[in-house]
Amino acid sequence: MELLMVAFNTAIAFCGETYYTGNRILRADDILNQHEAPVNRERARFYRHPKPGFGTMRERDGDRMTRDFTLEKYSELLRALEVNYRIMGVADYLTSPKDEEFIAVLRHDVDKFPDRAARMALLEKNLGVRSTYYFRWNPKPGNFPKQEILETLRYGHEVGYHYENLSELRDKEKALADFKDKLAVLRKLAPVRTVAMHGAPRVRVRNADMLEGVDLSKYGLLGEPHISPEFADIVYVTDSGRKWTSGAGSVRDTLGKPVEEKVKNTDELIGLVKARKYPRVMVSAGPGGWKG
């Protein structure tokens, strides 16, 4: 039965203009009409159902089959966070009262697929959530994803720079100069107040080392989560590698305190949120790994 269902869903994805959204079937025009921002048909490719086995992690809970790392599941996580924590972005956290408890800092590192970041930003906006999106510089066209950044701003979110200058140039002085130049380019699109390093898992360089000991205010910045002391006591959980860890997928993607539990899936993370064990948490969810 399950093989037949997979074949059926795949056929839907690639026949004509019909798309599968997880629990119902839509025409391409329906999807485009739902979106608040200007979207073209090329960008609508994001909504096609993924190939079997890619981005559809299935887990059995009794007799119920659930799909993880979907926008539907992400919505469940957001609703749990809203009930049990006050959600905010990185810059808002840095300027909030330090004695407040049960705060969830929500952050997104946009490594690739910026169109998915815009989709996630719209979902959060519709749920009344404000977060921070860190965008990478794309070296091939030589720019930042302008359209998606402007959409993210329009939905009320913070935009920051997801930098990787040190891992690219391997020289701190040259990296800082490049960092300053690219920050100026991004600021033509958005008022950048915070930055966050790219983990660069394939190289033995920690990009945040470039800013260690540097006065960030000279760059007009409030902070960087991986080095700013305000994040030393926060519990950090990230979806790196399509599993919830405290940066275990990369020795360089660490900050604050690790989560004590082994979180197997998003449902278990939701359980931790509802238990309110940790008074301050940072949740890092990369939009590229979440399917619609």
* Average model confidence (pLDDT) across the chain: 82
Average pLDDT of the residues in 14-29:
38
The packing angle between helices 266-275 and 71-84, to 10°, is 10
Q: Which of 28-42, 83-97, 104-118, 190-204 has the lowest mean pLDDT?
A: 28-42
What fold, for 71-289?
Answer: TIM Barrel (3.20.20)
The one-character DSSP state at 182 is H
State how beta strands 235-238 and 280-284 pair. parallel
- Give the integer Cα–Cα distance in Å for 85 and 100: 11
pLDDT at residue 23 is higher than 50: no
pLDDT at residue 24 is higher than 70: no
Question: How many Cα atoms are found within 13 Å in the side-chain-facing hemisphere of 61?
Answer: 12
Average pLDDT of the residues in 39-66:
39
| Domain residue extents for the chain | 2-54, 71-289
pLDDT in tens, 226-284: 999 999 999 999 998 788 987 555 556 778 899 999 999 999 999 999 999 999 999 99
SS3 289: helix
Q: 15: how many CB neighbours lie within 10 A of its CB? A: 8
Q: Which of 194, 175, 198 is nearest to 186 (CA)?
A: 194
- Give the integer Cα–Cα distance in Å for 257 and 282: 10
Question: How many Cα atoms are found within 13 Å in the side-chain-facing hemisphere of 139?
Answer: 6
pLDDT at 59: 40
pLDDT at 61: 42
pLDDT in tens, 182-225: 999 999 999 999 999 998 777 789 999 999 999 999 999 999 99
Query: pTM for this structure?
Result: 0.78
Structure tokens at 38: 């200007």
